[in-house]
Amino acid sequence: MLRRTLQSLLVQNFHDISHEVIVVDNNSNDRTREVVEEFVSANPSDFRYAFEPQEGIPYARNKGLAEARAPIIAFTDDDGFVDVDWAFQIKTIFDQQPEVSYLGGKVLAKWSHEPPAWLTEKHWSPLALADFGNEPFYIDLTNPICLITANFACRREIIDEVGPFSLEFPRCQDHELQVRIWKAGKRGMYRPEIIVTADVPEERLTKTYHRRWHRRHGFYMAKLGEEDFEQSQARFLDVPAAVYRRLISYTGRWLYSTITGNRDGAFTYETELSFFLGYFQNRISKYYKFSGNTS
């Protein structure tokens, strides 16, 4: 997959854009370095290899940020295949939209296996896929939609202002970074013409994987404590009343879907309950830790 990703970057229509491709090896134990060095050797002015021994996505992305020399930094993953005009579109839009601090676009699926019938767009988040339609829109505190770093670009100056990816978030680090950008009074923009296609491995097509992903997502969303999600000030066990209301609502919907035989609908609400399980796990453990209570 990495070779295909680098090939898609090699054949970009950069036009007259000065550019570099930095590949961060996050302590891989396969042929990553060998593959990257093939591209570096053949294209020394375009490709650079960087090694980050501390494993974890935020460490790897921050290594790339530290190595980058350009005023615009774009991210994709080693299972992504960027469109031929990807970099050119990013640079052009930033030039046209000086008020925008970051950009993102679609991340579409390249299915390795036929997806099951229950796996609709409602279940795309665990697959690291995103498609918010064909119309551009701004993103800020009034419209807090998270763009994923498989297809994400930002101005260097916003990283200098709010800081790099948080090492406390091995998951949801893209969301946490964007929350800091919003709180700094800056905005992002979704642009549908910026497109990446990503492989979806077979192991992500199971309900077990989706339950586990949502539980972990809930855990880190509780850690993030986003105001738009939590809303109310009233709390019990450090969980806002608004979260309890959502939990009760989704539990009722899950029960109704289960009783009426709507299995696909029941699983959709089950993933929401998995999210709340992770959320409560984080908040309750934090509550007992800081309150001095014991169970």
Per-residue pLDDT of the chain (295 residues; tens, 9 = 90+): 899 999 999 999 988 899 999 999 999 999 999 999 999 999 998 999 999 999 999 999 999 999 999 999 999 999 999 999 999 999 999 999 999 999 999 999 999 889 999 999 989 999 999 999 999 999 999 999 999 999 999 999 999 999 999 999 998 999 999 999 999 999 999 999 999 999 999 999 999 999 999 999 999 988 887 777 766 677 787 788 888 888 999 999 999 999 999 999 999 999 999 999 999 898 888 766 665 554 4
Whether residue 123 sits in one domain with residue 191: yes
Q: What are the distances in angstroms from CA 199 to CA 2, 136, 254, 288? A: 11, 25, 31, 41
Burial class (CB in 10 A: 0-12, 13-18, 19+), 182: buried
Given a contact cutoff of 8 angstroms between Cβ atoms, the answer to whether 63 and 24 are in contact is: yes
Whether residue 199 sits in one domain with residue 57: yes
Number of domains in the chain: 2
Whether residue 146 sits in one domain with residue 28: yes
Whether residue 239 sits in one domain with residue 140: no
Of the residues 171, 187, 204, which one is the last residue of a structural domain?
204
Q: Give the Cα separation of 40 and 24 in Å (integer).
A: 13
Q: Give the Cα separation of 53 and 104 in Å (integer).
A: 28
Query: What domain range includes position 227?
Result: 207-291
Whether residue 168 sits in one domain with residue 112: yes
Consecutive H or E run containing 43: none
Closest to 78 (Cα-Cα) out of 154, 159, 12, 21: 21
Bridge partners for 22 per DSSP: 48
Given a contact cutoff of 8 angstroms between Cβ atoms, the answer to whether 278 and 219 are in contact is: yes
Whether residue 230 sits in one domain with residue 193: no
Tell me the pTM. 0.89
Whether residue 148 sits in one domain with residue 18: yes
Of the residues 150, 182, 204, which one is the last residue of a structural domain?
204
Whether residue 243 sits in one domain with residue 116: no
Consecutive H or E run containing 98: none
Rg (CA), the chain: 21
Whether residue 232 sits in one domain with residue 166: no
Whether residue 184 sits in one domain with residue 217: no
